Amino acid sequence: MTTILECQIIDIKKIVRKKIDVNIDHYASSFLERRVQNRMNMIGIKSYAEYISFLDEDFLESFELNSTLSINVTQFFRNQTVWDVFKQKIIPEIISLSSSDHPISIWSAGCAIGNEPYSLAMMFSDMLQTNEKKFKIVANDINPTSIGIAKTGQYEFEKLKNIPNSFLSKFLEKIDDDLYKFSDDLKKTITFQVGDVASFNINHVDVILCRNMLIYYADDAKELLFKKFHKTLNDSGFLVLGMAEDVPLSMKKFFKTVDLGMKIYQKVSLDP
C-alpha cells in the first residue's frame, strides 16, 4: 500500500471531529496510518481517497476508526519489575513526602479497563495498613466502554494470574469459578471517570502513572501533556511512564530521572 499523504491525515482527523466530536489530532501520523490501513483491509477498500469518502459518508465508521485507535491492552501489575521498584523505592518516599492532612493522591491516566488502578489500590492498601495515612486514586480513560468495565471491578479468573495469592484472598471475592470481583472497600479508593488526559481536570497529585498510552502520540501533543503532568504534580511528585516511553527532550529539565530503566521520574520545581 502507498504511504498516506499528510493532507489525507488532516482530512481524516477533521471528519472524525465533525462526525463524532472526538479529537484525534494528538495521534502520530504513522500510527494513524496503520490503523486506517487495518480498517481499509477489513472493509475491503483499496485507496486512501476512497476510505476518506467512505468515512465522510458512513456515520458509524468514525466510531469504528476511533475504537481501533484506543488500544486497551493491559494487565494487573504489568511489567512486574516496575512494581517491585515502585514498592521498594517510590511508595516509601511518597509516604514520607506527603503531608499528614491530605490523603496520598494518585492519578492513573489512560487506565483502560482498570487493571493499573486496582493494582495500585492493592499495593497502597497493603503498605498503608499499619499507617495512619490514607490514599485516593483517580483513574480516567477516553474510552467509555473501558471505564464501564473498570467500574464493575469484575474480572475473569484467568486475567488475575499476576496478582499475588495474598492479595487475591485479601481484596477479591469469588462470584463463580470464572469470575471474581474486587471488594467494595478497595473499589471505594478509586474514582473512575471518562475523559481525555489532555483536558482532564485534576490537581495536587503525588504520583501520576501514564503508561503505554504516549507511544501513539505525536511529539507536539506529547510536550503539551508533559506540561500538564508537571502542573498537576505536587512538588517532588513522581511520574511513571511505560517501558517504551520517555520524557520529551524539551521537558527533560523539568523531570529528574529516578530510575531510567523503569521509566520513573520526579518533578523538578522549575516553571516550564
Q: Which residues bind ligand SAM (CB under 6 A)?
A: 70-74, 78, 110-112, 115-116, 140-143, 146, 196-198, 211-213, 242
Of 91 and 210, which CB lies nearer to ligand SAM in the complex structure?
Answer: 210
Query: Is the CB of 134 or the CB of 161 nearer to ligand SAM?
Result: 161
SS (H, E, C) the chain: CCCCCHHHHHHHHHHHHHHHCCCCCCECHHHHHHHHHHHHHHHCCCCHHHHHHHHHHCHHHHHHHHHHHCCCCCCCCCCHHHHHHHHHHHHHHHHHHCCCCCCEEEEEECCCCCHHHHHHHHHHHHHCCCCCCCEEEEEEECCHHHHHHHHHCEEEHHHHCCCCHHHHHHHEEECCCCEEEECHHHHCCEEEEECCHHHCCCCCEEEEEECCCHHHECHHHHHHHHHHHHHHEEEEEEEEECCCCCCCHHHHHHEEEEECCCCEEEECCCCC
Q: Output the smallest distance, CB 217 to ligand SAM, in A.
A: 8
CB of 36 to ligand SAM, least distance (A): 17
Q: How far is the CB of 200 from ligand SAM (least distance, A)?
A: 7
CB of 40: closest distance to ligand SAM in angstroms? 22
Q: Which is nearer to ligand SAM, 165 or 199 (CB)?
A: 199
Quick one: 146 or 234, whose CB is closer to ligand SAM? Answer: 146
CB of 95 to ligand SAM, least distance (A): 23
Nearer to ligand SAM, 90 or 112 (CB): 112
Q: In the complex, what is the shortest distance from the CB of residue 13 to ligand SAM, in angstroms, rounded to a whole number?
A: 14
In the complex with ligand SAM, the residue whose CB is nearer, 13 or 45, is 13
Cβ-based neighbours of 261, under 8 Å, separated by 6 or more: none
Residues in the chain: 272
